[in-house]
Amino acid sequence: MRISYRLTVLLGLVLTWLTAIVAANELHFERAAEDSARTAATVRVAAISFVPEKFDLKGNATRLEEAFRRAANGGARIAVAPEGALDGYVVNQIIAGEDSAERMREVAVTIDSPIIQRFEKLAKELDLCLVFGFAEQIADDVFNCAVFIDNEGKIRGKYHKMQLAEGYHPSWWFNRLGKQSRAFDTPYGRCGLMICHDRWNPALARIPVLDGAQFLLIPAMGSTSTRQDKAVLGRGHENDVPVVEANVGVTLVVNKGEITAIDRHREGITFGEITIPAAKQVDAAARDRVEQEFLQWRNEEMAERYKRTMKRQKKK
C-alpha cells in the first residue's frame, strides 16, 4: 500500500511536534530539579550559647568572635548567637534601678559602628553567615536588635524586638519597641528574625513567614524550660519552616517539625542541619493584617505588663 506524499509530510510534522514536546518536558523537569536543589537546600547551622558580661562591650566582642570561629571550624554555614551578646542584655538591671539608664550609652552602638564592621570583616574571612544580638543606637533611642551578616560581610537584615516580657513605657528610650517585622533575602533563602520573648507569640513568627521567610532564627536570653522548647518547636511546626534558637542555657534546632538538636550547656555550640524549603510567595495583605492585629493587642498588653513590673519593683 502506498502512502501519499501529503500523508508522509503530515506524519513527519506530527513526529517533529511529538519530539519537541518530549524535549521540552525533559528540559522542564531538569530545570525543576535544578530549582528544587537550589531552593530546598540542607544547611549546617550552629547555635551558640555563652554568658556575656554586663556592660563589657570589648570583652564580649572578643568572646563572640572566638565562638564564631569555632562554629566555622565545625563546618557551619550559618551561626546564631544570643540576644544582647555584645552589651550583656542590661535592660533588666536598668529597669530594676540597679544601674543608671545612662550606662546604656556605654554599650549601645550604631549599625555602622567599628564593632559591627569588625563582624562584617569576620563573616567574610570565615565565609560564614553571622547572627547575633546587640543594643542598637538610632539617634537618641536604643533598640534590642538582631542582625544578619552574610558570608560576604554584607548586612542582609536586622530586626528590633517587638514583644517585651517586662512591658513598655514611652519614657524607655533605652529599650524601645520594634515597629515592624519583615523577612529578607540571604544566600540560603528568605529569613525571618525573632528575639527571645517574641517566640511565645505565634503572630511574631507568622508575620515574617507571610513575608516569604523560609527559615526563622531566634537569638535569646530567657527561659530555658522545656516549655520554651515547645514554644520554639511550635513556631516551626505552625509555619512548616526550620528554626534555630541560640538562648543562653539552651540551644536548639527545629527541622521538619522536630527538635533535631538541643543542648542545655550555658557555654557551648550546638550543631545541626536545617532543610530550607522552597521559596514562599509573599502574602502582603495577610502579613499586614496579622501585624496590625498584633500591634493593637500590644498597645494594651505592654501597658499592663509595665504596671505589673513596676508593682513588683516597689515590693522589693
Strand partners, 253: 244, 261
196 lies in some domain: yes
Per-residue pLDDT of the chain (316 residues; tens, 9 = 90+): 444 545 444 445 444 454 444 444 444 434 443 343 345 699 999 999 999 999 999 999 999 999 999 999 999 999 999 999 999 999 999 999 999 999 999 999 999 999 999 999 999 999 999 999 999 999 999 999 999 999 999 999 999 999 999 999 999 999 999 999 999 999 999 999 999 999 999 999 999 999 999 999 999 999 999 999 999 999 999 999 999 999 999 999 999 999 999 999 999 999 999 999 999 899 999 999 999 999 999 999 999 999 999 999 888 7
* Per-residue pLDDT at 6: 52
171 lies in some domain: yes
* Per-residue pLDDT at 3: 46
Number of compact structural domains in the chain: 1
How distant, in Å, are the alpha carbons of 144, 191, 231 from that of 35?
37, 18, 32
User: In one letter, which amino acid is 121?
Assistant: K
16 lies in some domain: no
Q: How far is CA 169 from the centre of its chain?
A: 26
Could you give the residue ranges of the DSSP H alpha helices within the chain? 5-39, 57-73, 91-95, 104-107, 114-126, 202-210, 226-239, 284-315
36 lies in some domain: no
Which letter does DSSP use for residue 53 in this model? P
13 lies in some domain: no
Q: Please give the residue range of the domain that contains residue 302.
A: 42-315
Query: Would you tell me the crossing angle of helices 114-126 and 57-73 to the nearest 10 degrees?
Result: 10
6 lies in some domain: no
105 lies in some domain: yes
C-beta separation of 272 from 179 below 8 A: no
Domain with residue 65: its CATH number is: 3.60.110.10
pTM: 0.88
149 lies in some domain: yes
